[in-house]
Structure 1
Amino acid sequence: MLLTLESGCIDSSNGPINETRPEESIDDQESSFNDIVETAPEKTFSVKNNTLEKQSFFSGYYSKENLQFEPAVPAYSLPLKASEIANYDEFTQKIFFTKESKDLLYKNGFVVLDNEDDSEGPKNQLISGQTLVNETYRSLKVADVPIFITSDSLLHLYHIQFDETLKRVEAEEFYDELWKLDKALFEASIEDYNSASGVEKEAARRNVAYFAVALSLLQPKPEQTEKSREDPEKVTLFDPQDIKEYSVEIPPFVKDNVEAELVLIGAQKEEISPIFKYVEDYSQYSPRGHYTSSEKLKNYFKAMMWHGRISMLLQSKMIIAEESMVEELAADSSEKEARIQTIQALLISDHFDRDKNIRDRWDRIYNVTAFYVGFSDDLGPYEYAKALDTVFGNYRSGVSLDNESLAELITELDKYESPKIYGGTGEIIPAGSETENETLEATKGFRFMGQRYTPDSYILQKLNPPALNIMDLLGSERAREHLRNMGIAESEVYKTRHLSLETEFGAFNEDDWNKNLYWAQLYALKPLFTRYPEGYPTFMQTEAWEDKQLNTALASWTELRHDTILYAKQTYFLGAPQIQEEKPVEGYVEPVPEFYARMLALTKMAHNGLAEMEVLDEQSDKDFTTLENTLEKLLEISIKELEDKELTDAEYKFIRNFGQNISPMLENVDIKSQSSILVADVHTGPGGSVLEEGTGKLDLMIVAYKQPDGRIVLGTGPVMSYYEFWQPSGERLTDEEWRKMLNDNPPERPEWVSSFRV
């Protein structure tokens, strides 16, 4: 199995729509994912990138159409007047406008109306309280108002498919696979303990404890099978039979350690790990995202968080030494702990390397999740097994990890690159300007299935919040302007780091961008940041439209972080006339062809990749096909709109029936999973506070667009709402808690949305 982590690079350009780079079709690949997994006998290793590598394999699933068109939409003058809008009177009888919202409509050619149930005065009942995209479009069709299909809608629909397929494979396959994987290594560690002596015996004992904690977190509890009449969330329960099937007996020689760890995980505070002797942030183990929808997923979340966060450290700097009157003895204690942890990792990796069943189960979970999110920047079992091969060769039977051989192994492992993102292990090492490098070096070690490197987390580590920094590096000039206005981009340290990121990210090509679904979705957002020239609709040439697209991108990114909250490594702080009856007002598609092209390529990438990995069921396969057909139609329509061509009756019918067209892909998705309301914590800051990114109820966007017959008309469609705020770390929000906060005491929206929203 060849695994890779490649350095993150983000193309900062926001240039023209046309792309000329040749594409490789998925059909041109010589072998499928499963063929490569099964037939790759050799492991290749890069000391520079520190991971075993399957070179850019996932990018082979990405194939995007190159677009060629000349935008020629006639302009209109801003500010608009009501008398210039052909369907103004009829439209305003169905959609309520305040004076403020009319003023913004006239000024920008569009406006977003806030969706608040509890506001005083007249409400727009068509959208009030709405959180479901397809129901919103249905309501607009029933009201007979022209429909505007938004980029927000397509991003939200993709999020639902992404999240549902991941949730299904976790519950139906990965939970059981992880149980069997942990159970096998648990039993192997018991055998190690029974046969070893000295420091290796203690390392084996701690491995028994490590896997016992994971199994205890996975294990169903009796209360997780019992229905509670007071449970309003309708969480899916374990089957009572699962208690028998997934059961483990904890050996007495590790019971105290295991119970102590479980107590801390339940308390969700920052404490010293009883097994690993360094500070761990147990608040991260609180299930959130889609993992609150079933008891099985809650348990899976906790166990995978344990495997993703807990590190067996190479160095002693993060380890809290036992108290001693003599400083040298305390240092010796820390060094001894680091040696024990390294031996732990080597013992696990040796079993991993020898046992194909163990390796196959690990590969299955890791590679599918790597397709979704990417690779870890931490060392893992492949790296440690490679070090064993380097030092001992292929004949390791009976080899002892004595001081000399252990020192040789540590020297070998020290050559591998340190993690790029500090995920909160231990405490930050104060070292002046080198604090970040010192801390990252000190956290180098073994993680059984480490959380994944993502470019947005990397940006947040380098530049700190707000999330506008991410959008800036993705190519949003408007985000950069807001950062300057907020005084964030002024310090020399910031400028130096920003320039370094621009240089690093600027080297990325399209294959780099599309190495997995996470990166490919960020790539799909980039066309939203284009500053549109003449030939595009007038409303798209305003600063307010740039703010609206920035809001869309941030909301979509929030959904992505919500869906991958278990796997993506979170950063921690380091420092009118009447309408002419013979010519009705027709609907409109937000004309962003490059966005639709990238979303189509992303959807096909997900569909083809997950199908080859045998992750999709029959319904998921049909749902992806529906979304692909929808995106193909939107791409075709948007290009015709930009070329100022009249759409066919069938195309106008497609727009009018958009809610009905997308319904098939949502029929088997529960209402909660379709909701636009969700939250994800993405960064842990100073003092234990966490940065929360949230999306709320759907807002309604009103757009003035020009039809091919020359009339300016109004159309409407749903857009996402976006929030960014801080929470205490012990109160990381679930979606359920966020919904309550949103109803009772919602945080303020970003100030910059006032340019387009009332």
Structure 2
Amino acid sequence: MKISRIAAACLFAALVIALPAALTGCQPAKNSPRQQADTPQVSSSAADTVFAPYSEIPVNVKPSVKPYLVEPNLSNVTNKDLFSFSPAAGKLLAQNGFVVVASKDHREFFPLYEVNRYAAVPVPNFVTTDAMLHNYHLYFSHLLRTLEKDRLCSELQTLTVSMLAGSEQQYGDLKGTAWENAAKRNVAFFAVATRMLDPTAGVPSYVQREVEQELQLIAEHRDTMRPSPVMNMGQPADDPLAVLNEDYTQYIPRGHYATSDDLRSYFKTMMWYGRMTFRANNNDETRSAALITLLLNRDKDFASWNRIYEPTNFFVGKSDDLGFLQYRELLGKIYGNTPTLNQLTGDNNKWTAFEAAVDKLQPPAINSIPVFDENIQPDREQAIKGFRLMGQRFTIDASIFQRLVYREVGENSAGERRMLPKGLDIPAAMGSEAAYAILDSAGQTGYARYPENMRKLQTYLASLDTATWTQNLYWSWLHTLAPLTEPKKQGYPSFMTNQAWTRKQLETYLGSWTELKHDTILYAKQVYAEMGGGDVNDDRGYVEPNPVVFARLASLTQMTADGLESRGLLNENDKESLERMEELALKLKVIAEKELVNQPLTDEEYDLIRGFGGDLEHFWLEALRDEGVDHRSAVAQNPASLIADVATNPAGEVLEEGTGYVSEIYAVVPVDGKLRIAKGGVYSYYEFPWPAQDRLTDQKWRSMLDEGQAPEQPAWVKSYAVPQ
């Protein structure tokens, strides 16, 4: 087969990115072909459509906890006899002041804390940042999932049916003209979407062959480099660079979209609308895009489109590709107003002016199209720029990835190309010296231009203001994680002031970031706690003193509730839960501030720590009630572990990011001037390459964990973690 010979002969180079995004685009500057290798150009202005503002909660505290040492045999720890540690765990606990112990016993966070509370001798709770970040993920996923099921699925059906009918009408009007093939392509384009939403729907006979071929490729979802039968309709197939190739492995429903037929159909259709590109350098495809723009300009169709785009914009961000809004604006400028079909197709001079104007528009910041090696296809920007109906969204982390893989970085000394990024690239770009050191020791910084690009990213990201970092929920989530990139200095509890804790914070960062990528996998673009009577029975616990993280989490929760409520997208039950979550985050912030300045906690605050597991269970149940979960016994079927592919090597490999069982953390903490061990739960983070044709679902990943087939965690966690 011809394409397979081409694929075998060519080296692929693209980072295929598919996860949520920012409300402002990330565009390279004009007349700068290497700008992609510099920094993302993110506007710091407010978004075009603002669902809700972000209200920063101030944290003003000077940490002043006196340093302390843990004796090697834990002799100065009051409740050490409650615990039995392996020699390796005991050594790390004494050395670092904390230790993480892997476990297969904890499928969710809340049971671990409830076990502490109801043990024969209660164990002090260690309320972790991880548990609260996971709490927010549960609700973010719930809100997005219910929005899709209750509103967006039906809206997508309405839009698709109308656009297919409109395309058929246009095709009938344009038969026999130079626009016939473009109109025919659109009929096929919307017929594919119609069939994915309704397998019983009819397909116009004149596009049935291409539609069936396309649907077969989507159903098989095994090819990463295959010409699209629909998008290449009526165009020469003898020039491989003129052929639009698609990565059909992206159509494997994953994340929460693998849980029902409706969500699977929604996922595949939105992936189709989000990835298929009417390329700007192709005259016939640009005609198709202009025809779609005319249809979408109809009030009812624009309303349907916007009712999908606007709320997903709030969750994830703006499209990174050209689309309806840009094309409609250009048509209005050139034709004097949005033209009629006859005006559009009947004035060649204005059409030529429109094509020239499209050519001057900025290309996407993130490439999500498989393209050929630089030596074969040097002008990547022209190859990837084009119109998408519901383009996948720009995200700042994907943009970071884009600048740290081939082509933006070159080969290393062994002649190898960096075709997949590393999760640690993200906190390193955010300023984490520890993350960069780990990357450096693993040889990841040895690619040409990697250090330079990383420095430019660090400088640029450090310059962004709060308004930019909080323009939507995706960016605000990353803003919440940012304090985890900073090492803790003197004045914090001693267990937090060492390299091991700095690395432990990276696992928290990457665990929560993995949940963010999982929740937004469809939209984001992919490149390719009562006081006792004695020391032993004293179960007063401790909150991990990260007040800035808790404050930002409260702000993020409030922004989530306000934004959805302002558009009538939040029911009373969810509003009440989000308000309760915000209140909990604020109370933990206050407790953390008190701990850092050695201020005694109240009985009520210790009770809050003691009952933390009950709060987590409440939020877990509320976040899963739309899935039919109404009792904690369902935790085995709804565990915390999840998986998300975040980048693609077009040669057939993806980068998987996962969280596993909840690990136990034991920290030696000061309470009333004495040291005690408190126990909590933290993420277990995984990262590994995997075949693209088998992009992992949560269900398969959980089976791998249960059957002992999961790969090992990254080596750098061994400085603070031990096996069960």
Using the size of structure 1 for normalisation, the TM-score is: 0.82
Query: Per-residue deviation at 1:195?
Result: 1.2
| Equivalent residue runs for 1:78-93 within 5 Å | 80-89=72-81, 91-92=82-83
Which residue in the other structure is 1:41 paired with?
Answer: none
Query: Per-residue deviation at 1:564?
Result: 0.3
Which residue in the other structure is 2:201 paired with?
Answer: 248
Q: Which amino acid aligns with 2:309?
A: Y
| Structure 2 SS opposite 1:716 | strand
Query: Per-residue deviation at 1:352?
Result: 1.5
| Equivalent residue runs for 1:646-665 within 5 Å | 646-665=600-619
Residues 720, 582 of structure 1: alpha-carbon distance in 2 compared, 3 angstrom cutoff: closer
Which residue in the other structure is 1:74 paired with?
Answer: 66
Which residue in the other structure is 2:166 paired with?
Answer: 188
| Equivalent residue runs for 1:254-653 within 5 Å | 254-268=207-221, 269-270=223-224, 271-277=226-232, 278-315=244-281, 338-353=282-297, 355-394=298-337, 396-397=339-340, 398-401=342-345, 403-425=348-370, 427-431=371-375, 435=378, 438-464=379-405, 465-572=421-528, 580=534, 584-653=538-607
Among 697, 704, 727, the residue aligned to 2:690: 727
Query: Per-residue deviation at 1:59?
Result: 8.3
| Structure 2 SS opposite 1:390 | helix
Query: How far apart, CA to CA, are the structure 1 residues paired with 2:514 and 2:50?
Result: 23
Q: Which amino acid aligns with 1:440?
A: E
Equivalent residues of 1:49, 1:416 under 8 A apart = no
| Structure 2 SS opposite 1:340 | helix
Unmatched tracts of structure 2, length 5 or more: 1-21, 29-39, 233-243, 406-420
| Equivalent residue runs for 1:178-257 within 5 Å | 178-197=156-175, 198-219=177-198, 221=199, 248-257=201-210
Q: Which amino acid aligns with 2:100?
A: V
Query: How far apart, CA to CA, are the structure 2 residues paired with 1:542 and 1:49?
Result: 36
Q: Deviations over 1:215-255 (max 9, x none)?
A: 11111x5xxxxxxxxxxxxxxxxxxxxxxxxx632111111
Query: How far apart, CA to CA, are the structure 1 residues paired with 2:136 and 2:535?
Result: 37
Pair 1:695 & 2:667 matched: no
Q: Deviations over 1:427-465 (max 9, x none)?
A: 235249x94xx2133211100000001111111111131
Equivalent residues of 1:165, 1:615 under 8 A apart = no
Unmatched tracts of structure 1, length 5 or more: 10-47, 117-127, 222-246, 316-337, 573-577
Q: Which amino acid aligns with 1:737?
A: K
Residues 395, 274 of structure 1: alpha-carbon distance in 2 compared, 3 angstrom cutoff: closer
Which residue in the other structure is 1:142 paired with?
Answer: 118
Query: Per-residue deviation at 1:108?
Result: 0.2
Query: Per-residue deviation at 1:472?
Result: 0.5
Equivalent residues of 2:23, 2:314 under 8 A apart = no
Equivalent residues of 2:47, 2:471 under 8 A apart = no
Q: Which amino acid aligns with 2:331?
A: L
Equivalent residues of 2:49, 2:310 under 8 A apart = no
Q: Which amino acid aligns with 2:714?
A: P
Deviation beyond 4 Å, 4+ runs, structure 1? 48-51, 671-674
| Equivalent residue runs for 1:706-721 within 5 Å | 706-707=670-671, 709-721=672-684
Residues 396, 476 of structure 1: alpha-carbon distance in 2 compared, 3 angstrom cutoff: same
Query: How far apart, CA to CA, are the structure 1 residues paired with 2:573 and 2:713?
Result: 37
| Structure 2 SS opposite 1:368 | helix
Query: How far apart, CA to CA, are the structure 2 residues paired with 1:59 and 1:538?
Result: 42
Q: Which amino acid aligns with 1:273?
A: S
Which residue in the other structure is 1:18 paired with?
Answer: none
Query: Per-residue deviation at 1:414?
Result: 1.3
Query: How far apart, CA to CA, are the structure 1 residues paired with 2:404 and 2:309?
Result: 29
Q: Which amino acid aligns with 1:534?
A: Q
Query: How far apart, CA to CA, are the structure 2 residues paired with 1:267 and 1:519?
Result: 34
Equivalent residues of 2:648, 2:654 under 8 A apart = yes
Q: Which amino acid aligns with 1:463?
A: L
Residues 612, 674 of structure 1: alpha-carbon distance in 2 compared, 3 angstrom cutoff: farther
Using the size of structure 2 for normalisation, the TM-score is: 0.85
Moved more, 247-256 or 740-749: 247-256
| Structure 1 SS opposite 2:178 | helix
Query: How far apart, CA to CA, are the structure 2 residues paired with 1:536 and 1:714?
Result: 16
Equivalent residues of 1:50, 1:383 under 8 A apart = no
Report % sequence identity: 37
| Structure 2 SS opposite 1:135 | helix
Number of residue-to-residue matches in the alignment: 642
| Equivalent residue runs for 1:16-31 within 5 Å | none
| Structure 1 SS opposite 2:563 | helix
Equivalent residues of 1:307, 1:448 under 8 A apart = yes
| Structure 1 SS opposite 2:205 | coil
Among 639, 658, 663, the residue aligned to 1:675: 639
Query: How far apart, CA to CA, are the structure 1 residues paired with 2:349 and 2:670?
Result: 78
Residues 717, 423 of structure 1: alpha-carbon distance in 2 compared, 3 angstrom cutoff: same
Query: How far apart, CA to CA, are the structure 1 residues paired with 2:286 and 2:48?
Result: 30
Residues 212, 412 of structure 1: alpha-carbon distance in 2 compared, 3 angstrom cutoff: same
Q: Which amino acid aligns with 2:231?
A: F
Q: Which amino acid aligns with 1:272?
A: P
| Structure 2 SS opposite 1:423 | coil
CA-based RMSD of the aligned residues comes to 2.2
Which residue in the other structure is 1:225 paired with?
Answer: none
Query: Per-residue deviation at 1:506?
Result: 2.7
Query: Per-residue deviation at 1:366?
Result: 0.6
Equivalent residues of 2:254, 2:697 under 8 A apart = yes
Higher relative contact order (CA 8 A, sep 6+): 2
Query: How far apart, CA to CA, are the structure 2 residues paired with 1:482 and 1:727?
Result: 22
Which residue in the other structure is 1:63 paired with?
Answer: 55
Q: Deviations over 1:360-391 (max 9, x none)?
A: 11111111001111111100011111111111
| Structure 1 SS opposite 2:191 | helix
Query: Per-residue deviation at 1:500?
Result: 2.2
Which residue in the other structure is 1:106 paired with?
Answer: 94
Query: Per-residue deviation at 1:54?
Result: 6.8
Q: Which amino acid aligns with 2:64?
A: A
